[in-house]
Amino acid sequence: MSPVLIQNVTLLVGKEFRKVESRNLLIRDGIIQQIDTKKTKITNVNVLDGENLLGIPGLIDAHTHIGDSFAKDVGVGKTLKELVHPLHGIKSKLLANESPATIREAISQTSKDMLSCGITTFADFREGGLEGLQLAREALSKCKQRVLLLGRPRLSYSEETVAHDVDIPEPIVEEAKKILAVSNGFGLSGANEYTNSSLKNLAKITRGTNKLLAIHAAESVEAVNFSNETFHETEIQRILNHMTPSFIVHMTHANEADIQRIAQSKVGIVCCPRANATLGVGVPPISNFLRSGIKTAIGTDNVMLNAPDMFRELDYAARIIKATTQDPSAITSSQALSMATTHAADILGLGSSIGSLEVGKQADIVFLDMNAANLSFSRDIVSSIVHRARPDNIECVMIQGEIVHGSIEK
């Protein structure tokens, strides 16, 4: 790949998203080599004019379920348990009865939709054991983004048996090891669907593999109450007593003691505010997470519930945090954007290579049209990105220095 020199471009640089104008951006072998105002003298370089473009870090969707893309807006008005319970939810029944070809096509279309929304990396929780992973890999074989597939064994205990501390059957242990070998880690269902022994043993299988271990918890009041009544502990207590996950998803109803436990454990949190709102389960206390120093990211969750649009997620998250806390300073625009870039990269173990525009990092960049009516005349460009930017503002998406959507020059 020839080096690329983009001249006259405006960029949000570093983890602080500093706006720097009229820069020469040099990209070599997919890596950002220079960000400066000097005229770079280099031969065999592809020179592009980035005037009127704003380059921001590629957006990272830290929690998705794209396998249900074939069932958009099914079960509107249904509860969380009715829709997504792994044993008897509407989603599990639909997945069991839909043709693999339809599921693959829907996943493929969703990945293209995500790219058009500036999502350059996403972490997907895959149901269906080894078969589910294979189906997703086939569907995403031509996907341009960086995809982290987090599988899970076909293991979920009913409410009647989960408290009996039944261990994992040996065939499931073997399946779990195979899943871990061909995936980026485990993306487990809710803590209430696992016994204490199974949590411990899944963590043991993961230990030493350098793979991700993630789990859902505290999404609804019902889930919180079930854990307290059945185990006499919160889901967070149970999880941290038996494993050290890479991150926990949702935490919508985490209490202050649980938040401090998470902070002390250095575990990340991924919140899905729009999905929580759609299901009517509440609003995650993101400002409390950030105030406690917890790395916090956001995700769009199930495609059956939400369009995978991180601009919508950012806007909604920042506004709902300020509304529920009744404090307009509860979250800054830079903190919000971090949840879709730097924090997400760190939580997913990718912080050294992506998440911010810095020399030495991979050139995952979304270029926005600064002359667009909704972005022009901005006095705070980071705030404008969080609250005003839309997918139609995107002129070009670049991943590892390769233009994968749109173009730099019109």
**What is the per-residue pLDDT across 218-277, written as a single tens digit (0 to 9) for each?**
999 999 999 999 999 999 999 999 999 999 999 999 999 999 999 999 999 999 999 999
pLDDT at site 52: 96
CATH number at residue 366: 2.30.40.10
**Same-domain status, 156 and 239:** yes
Tens digit of each residue's pLDDT (9 = 90 or more) over 157-203:
788 888 888 888 899 999 999 999 999 999 999 999 999 999 999 99
**What's phi and psi for 376, nearest 5 deg?**
-65, 155
Amino acid at 198: S
CATH number at residue 146: 3.20.20.140
pLDDT averaged over every residue in the chain: 95
Domain boundary among 301, 331, 347: 347
Tell me if residue 94 falls in helix, strand or coil: helix
Tens digit of each residue's pLDDT (9 = 90 or more) over 316-329:
999 999 999 999 99
pLDDT at site 88: 80
pLDDT of 40 above 70: no
pLDDT of 91 above 70: yes
DSSP letter assigned to residue 227: H
Q: In this prediction, what percent of the chain has a pLDDT beyond 90?
A: 89
Cα–Cα distance for residue pair 87/93, rounded to 1 Å: 9
Instruction: Tell me the pLDDT band of 386, cut-offs 50, 70 and 90.
Output: very high
| Tokens linked to 404 | 């994968």
Cα–Cα distance for residue pair 389/382, rounded to 1 Å: 10
**Same-domain status, 49 and 63:** no
**Same-domain status, 113 and 219:** yes
Tens digit of each residue's pLDDT (9 = 90 or more) over 111-170:
999 999 999 999 999 999 999 999 999 999 999 999 999 999 988 778 888 888 888 889
* Residue 369: strand pairing partners: 53
Give, in degrees to the nearest 5, the angle at Cα 24 between 18 and 30: 90
Tell me if residue 298 falls in helix, strand or coil: strand
**Same-domain status, 149 and 23:** no
| Tokens linked to 34 | 């220079």
Domain that holds residue 52: 4-58+355-406
Tens digit of each residue's pLDDT (9 = 90 or more) over 329-338:
999 999 999 9
pLDDT of 410 above 70: no
Please give the full DSSP string across 272-291, using - where no structure is assigned.
Answer: -HHHHHHHT-----HHHHHH
Burial code of 371-383, b = ≥16 C-beta within 10 A, e = fewer?
ebeebeebeebbb
**Same-domain status, 322 and 210:** yes
**Same-domain status, 259 and 374:** no
CA dist 223 → 53, 54, 158, 232, 271 (Å) = 46, 43, 13, 13, 16
Domain boundary among 299, 320, 347: 347
**Same-domain status, 244 and 335:** yes
**Same-domain status, 339 and 365:** no
Domain boundary among 325, 347, 369: 347
**Same-domain status, 227 and 80:** yes
pLDDT at site 1: 72
Cα–Cα distance for residue pair 99/188, rounded to 1 Å: 24
pLDDT of 10 above 70: yes
**Same-domain status, 391 and 282:** no
What is the number of domains present in the chain? 2
**What's phi and psi for 231, nearest 5 deg?**
-110, -10
Cα–Cα distance for residue pair 268/270, rounded to 1 Å: 7
pLDDT of 42 above 80: no
**Same-domain status, 14 and 100:** no
**Same-domain status, 233 and 319:** yes
